[in-house]
Amino acid sequence: MKHHSMIRDKMRESVSAVLPIAAIVAMLCLFAVPVGSGLVLSFFLGTIMIIVGMGLFTIGADVAMSQIGNHIGARMTASRKLWLILILSFVLGVIITVAEPDLQVLATYVPDIDTTVLIATVSAGVGLFLMVSMLRILFRIPLKWLLFGLYLIVFLLAALSNPDFLSVAFDSGGVTTGPMTVPFIMAIGVGVASIRSDENAKSDSFGLIALCSVGPILAVLLLGFLYQSDTAGDSAMHIGEYLTSVDVGKEYLTAFPDYMGEVAVALLPICLFFLVFQLVSLKLKKKTLLTILLGILFTYLGLVLFLTGVNVGFSSLGYVLGGVLAEGKLKWLLVPIAVLMGWFIINAEPAVHVLNKQVEELSAGAISEKIMGRTLSIAVAAAMGLAMVRVLTGVSILWFMLAGYVIALTLAFFVKPTFTAIAFDAGGVASGPMTAAFMLPFAMGVSTALGGNVMTDAFGLVAMVAMMPLITVQTMGAISTVISGRKEAVQNLVSGFGEDETIELWEVS
């Protein structure tokens, strides 16, 4: 009964997440933008597959990935061997990132950079910085100073790097912290933080996502100095041409085996690692083991459905829709449409719900899931609007990133460390599969139609989405601190009066 309830709840979440985007697209296609009926049919089939796939995937993430992360994290910390913790962190960071759907989606769109090379580079970056995250927790290194130093290095490299690699590098930092990696990494962080018994141990378990987002940026920037490629080529966007409904069906049937193989290869390393760890060290009970294996199956099926729906139906229409809007009289609608989609699209990111719940639990309800959700919606809506302005004007991503991170890192010195860690984690999870699956192709379509450079103008949208929560969440933290401080001051003043005394309002104010 419990499992039936979980499946029902996850599917309901998935429907409420994806349906608003589908409704906006449907209204545009029916009343404003002429698009082929075959492409629209493909989009709606893709929508159904994404809803089912996302539901199954989030169930698998809860039942399998979070549990694997918890068990391995607890076993790592029980050993209390620093070298073992660091080696396992690197290996886990690499193999879990390879299976990240956001990264898989982004890698297929980047022209003339080999997909395997890009995924391997990004995965190595996550693995190395998961090691850095473990060291930070164990040695109690302040997150704000670490982030300040790392982003200083990022922007120094960015100033010297190939402009065509710049946007992809920042986007790589956003897509690596999605629904696969977030539950896993956060579970490991909580386990490692449990070694410490001080009052800051729980809050220090936040910040892992933030640091694991920096690793891919640095790794891809360094790749730009070493990798020789003509990055000015066309994006690897496949647009299906469907004359009949049978053509749509054939496209999906052709794509299924490909994605079944890709997802199997992506999930195989983490499955083998877990099974070896189970035989050597974990030795979980049969019931627990079977539950985790069932969760892995759900994860597999969900990923296959999700990636097929995204790549065959969702992204194609996004690309075409952006191009048609940019060429027509409705060009002025691009920015408000992007803002509207940004407001809703954040609810479609499974990793956001994971983070919001963990924030509410670890803050003992001080930061509610609802408040976090609203704050992130504002952030992503603003990010999408600014990203579309950038596509239309061709302004370099570096100026937006530099200004945004200067504000975010400055705020870090004026708010509680917990809010800084949560803000940078939120930035990582806000830029998930729906952003890469629909909004990035949408921006690519706009850029192509306007004759812009897709690599420098369209790519970078995911990075904008990852940056804005750093500002809004820390601003929320500053406001929350001021309000709680005033309440505490009033309570202290009131407590100074006796029970029989009359309290004048002017005295309290």
Band (pLDDT 50/70/90 cuts) for residue 290 is very high
Q: How confident is the model at residue 177 (pLDDT cuts 50, 70, 90)?
A: confident
> CA 132, CA 31: separation in Å to the nearest integer?
51
Looking at residue 143, what is its pLDDT? Answer: 82
Say how many CA atoms lie within 13 Å of 377 toward its Cβ.
Answer: 14
- Residue among 13, 65, 8, 54 at smallest CA distance from 291: 65
pTM (two decimals): 0.81
**Average of per-residue pLDDT across 278-307:** 90
Q: Which of 2-11, 168-177, 479-488 holds the top average pLDDT?
A: 168-177
Handedness of CA 29, 35, 39, 41 (dihedral sign): positive
**pLDDT for 350 beyond 70:** no
Residue 202 has a pLDDT of 60
Whether 206 shows a pLDDT value over 80: the answer reads no
Q: Is the pLDDT of residue 249 over 70?
A: yes
What confidence category does residue 133 fall into, taking pLDDT thresholds of 50, 70 and 90?
Answer: confident
In the predicted structure, residue 474 carries a pLDDT above the cut 60: yes
Residue-wise pLDDT tens digits, 489-508: 555 544 554 545 444 433 44
pLDDT at 300 over 50: yes
Percent of the chain with pLDDT over 70: 85
Using CA atoms, how far residue 74 sits from 48, 289, 373, in Å, is: 38, 16, 30
Alpha carbon of residue 373 to chain centroid: 14
For the segment 135-144, the average pLDDT, to the nearest whole number, is 83
**Better-scored residue on pLDDT, 505 or 364:** 364
Domain boundaries, the chain: 7-484
Q: Is the pLDDT of residue 412 over 90?
A: no
Count CB neighbours of 76 within 10 A. Answer: 24
The 10s digit of each residue's pLDDT in 371-396 is 888 888 899 999 999 999 999 998 98
